[in-house]
Amino acid sequence: MQPSDLPAPVNRIVCPECGNDKEFYEIAENAVITTNYTQNEDGSFTPEEDNSQILGEIKLICGQCGKDLSIFHQRFSEMLF
């Protein structure tokens, strides 16, 4: 049996506009991002901890054509590991 003989997962998100099923990104509106830094001896900075708080809507966007795929965002969130 070859990998191409295996059935495709039925739960994959596919952009209805362009068929993309690999590249996606999220846009968070009204986000507060806090990063704590430590200054090094040479004057450079090293990030120690990031914290973000999203106060607005989160959108899922197709990474190829830019179509708003927010209707799939819950499924996307469930599949983050």
Which residues are CB-contacts of 72 (< 8 A; sequence separation ≥ 6)?
A: 13, 60
Domain that holds residue 34: 29-81
CB 59 within 8 A of CB 24: no
Asked, for residue 60, whether it belongs to a domain, the answer is yes
Query: Among 23, 30, 17, which residue's Cα sits nearest to residue 68?
Result: 17
**The residue type at 10:** V
pLDDT in tens, the chain (81 residues): 566 666 666 789 999 999 999 999 999 999 999 999 999 999 999 999 999 999 999 999 999 999 999 999 999 999 888
Q: Is the pTM of this model over 0.75?
A: no
Number of domains into which the chain is organized: 1
Residue 58 lies in a domain: yes
**Does some domain include residue 12?**
no
pLDDT of residue 10: 73
